[in-house]
Amino acid sequence: MDVVFLVTVLIVIGALAFDFINGFHDTANAIATSVSTKALKPRHAILLAAIMNFVGAMTFTGVAKTITKDIVDPFTLENGSIVILAALIAAIFWNLLTWYYGIPSSSSHAIIGSIAGAAIAASGFSALNYSGFLKILQALIISPLLAFGIGFIIYSIFKVVFRNNNLAKTNRNFRYFQVATAALQSFTHGTNDAQKAMGIITMALIANNYLTTNDIPLWVQFSCALAMGLGTSIGGWKIIKTVGGNIMKIRPVNGVAADLTGALIIFGATYIHLPVSTTHVISSSILGVGTAHRVKGVKWTTAQRMIITWVITLPISATVAAISYFILNAIF
């Protein structure tokens, strides 16, 4: 069998595996608040998230094109297929490791750091498309800060608007509304996260001369959407527990404010074709809501643990990808 074809097949399998893992790793964040407040039963929440992730993934391709061309240039990337395969191995390794320990780390940071690390190992720092790479990094840094601020503002507005309402009745009504916000957040998650695997497969097809443009083939879009939907159906219980209960005690009104914030930021990023970390955005929105609700009610030790994981994900995934590249390059 032709080596280029074999590696391409391995990349497609690896990218779909990454999307599947992303489904139960990151999508847990989208439904964590609705499960923790009992607005939705876990099985119903997961089914809803799986369907809405699939729909979202089939709706847009702008982020996929950004992944394809803005980190490295697939048309000139040296040993492109080996670089991409090494990046996938590193990203999958980090996702599974953090999932095992129930830490809501970023699949986006993992795959972006992995691509950069493998490309640097192959061709040095000149392999990076610095203008595009820095634009992506800015989006990854700014989006959680925006989520924290907007979450704080939205919940502060809720407190003013509903200050004279009966608390139990208000929470009961918001619990019904949470079904809609959970669906919306799952949809926006699909519009952004599933596209990362689409971009990786397209990058490999270009690098191996199976494509001449960065347009996303329909079969790539559908297979990635399906993989994420199936992954979501598995559920990520450890991460749901961390996000849904270990940051703050979430009531339905808190959950709606956090869900609306997360959906707004994620969809805004999708609209301007920028990949963001849905994990960072959703967790930061909960932190913002919790701070507006009661600062002492936020479990800052959990937040600190999450932030440390966020910071170390890029360099660790880049290092693992570089090591993987050298091993794969020796094999192939």
pLDDT in tens, 76-128: 888 989 999 999 999 999 988 987 877 767 888 899 999 999 999 999 999 99
Residue 302 has pLDDT above 90, yes or no: no
226-235 mean pLDDT: 84
> Would you state the pLDDT for residue 27?
65
For 289-308, the three-class secondary structure string (H helix, E strand, C coil) is: HHHHHCHHHCCHHHHHHHHH
d(CA 295, CA 287): 9
Q: Is 72 helix (H, G, I), strand (E, B) or coil?
A: strand
Confidence of residue 308 (pLDDT cuts 50, 70, 90): confident
Total domain count for the chain? Answer: 1
What is the gyration radius of the CA atoms in the chain, in angstroms? 19
* Residue whose token pair is 């979450």: 151
Global pTM value: 0.88
CB 261 within 8 A of CB 149: no
CB 201 within 8 A of CB 15: yes
Domain boundaries, position 245: 3-331
The per-residue pLDDT for range 232-241, each reduced to its tens digit, is: 877 655 555 5
Q: State how far Cα 204 lies from the chain centre.
A: 21
